[in-house]
A and B are shown apart, each in its own frame.
Chain A
Amino acid sequence: MANSLFANKALDLLDAEPTQPGEIYQTIGGVAPSAKSPIEKPPPPPEHPAPPERWPKEVKPLVTYEMVRKNPYLQEIALRGNFDYQLHSGSEAQDSGLRRSHLGIALRAFYDLEIEADAAFDSSGDYLGFETLRAKYAFHDKLALSVGKFRPSFSSEYSTDPSLRWFPDLSPLLAQLAPASSLGALLEGQGWKLGYFSGDSDRNIPDIDGRGFLLAGLEHRGWHLDYIHNFDRGRSEAIPLAYRHLFSTGVKVSSGSYDFASEFFLAKGDENTSWGVTLRAARWLVQDAFRLVGRYHYAASDQAGGILSGFGVARPISDVGQPFQYNTFSTADSLHSFYLGVNAHFFEDNLLWGAGLEYRTLSGADASADLDSWNWSTHARLAF
């Protein structure tokens, strides 16, 4: 009797639906909550990253060392460098040389204080001065204070790290009016910044000299407005050409493989008032590898010969003081510049090779007839 019962049970089991994998365990105690949700397939890498990531301001550090033992005095060390070799060939200048040679260190120390020190060298390896010597402390995600010598973050093009710029050099008018790397303090919040800098300019550490200049800026969803008020007028060494008010406003737009930025500049002084516009566009020909870049730049001045146009490779010392440092330059009443080039990204933004052709036309160049020039440039950049 008992045997037949067991046999029936065995037959019932054979007739029953086969147990689904995992059924037993789900009925016993349930799966852990975090593992309950079905695992989606890893999504393919986004073809085009979101806009804030498409406009980075600093290059990714490659050589970092995090302290094995956590301590409040030193948490992380990063070695930084930027080497840019350029070759320019044009009707006005045949020039080649090291545009930029920076070597520096960044520390996270003393309870998350960020300390950056970047020294500039010339092509023969001689020390030129400090481009940056800054301490930055973030009170929280939305408020940070920087103190030291650094590039005032005026205009989106100038405040972008040189290792992330699309072109071999700054737009001509921006190189003319951009403030020198100076000693100051900058308070940055979410969408705003306010800073005060010394009017002195020095290869190493500038003095607190004169009445200085004030920097204020607003930013909202790709739009920005920057303003500098120079209290020193003509006595300032940090603000060129005795400009008193400097404005910069523009937008950044990204869509698909396209990126576009426009910027308007106005520099108002007692003697020279200059204005200009820069339109920059880039398109990934091959995503993250080859990028087509183009720029249109226009600059004009109310003063005869009020626009400066540099040709060739800017001297490496331009990063520790005034940006406009060219062996060959010309003055003009107005200027148009068209640049079209290709950038090859070998290793993200850290190793790049670029080549481009520029057509530049100057009206009233050196108080004479117009000057047209074609310039071919090639540059190789290593940043870490």
Chain B
Amino acid sequence: MSNFVQSLRLWFSPARLRAEGDTPDYRFSLANERTFLAWLRTALALVGGGFAVDQFLPDLRWAARAGLALALLGAGVLCALRAGGRWARCELAMRRGEDLPVSRFPALLGLEVALVALAMAAVVLFGWER
């Protein structure tokens, strides 16, 4: 939880980031930026998947369709917010010369995507259409 508070404080006072430690090699910062962008693309893919479920599966029952779409859209929101927080925390760790922060978010995201995929497979196999 303290990690969350820390990244929230970084979001709202960006000057703190520049005040900490010393500037790392610009290539490490750029690599961190590309990782941030890759997470952002993951978030956008989840959001796009949510919209696609909502629109291109009109034969599904409303509950199944809305549930799958909301699971994907919610994962997209979390992924986008976490991408920003993680970028700030990695930048801070590099400036201070500490280890990069670890997190269980990738495992949870993988689990959720697997669950959504299983639900999709069940919908296709058992024909839960209206």
Q: A and B: partners?
A: no
Binding site for B on A (CB under 8 A): none
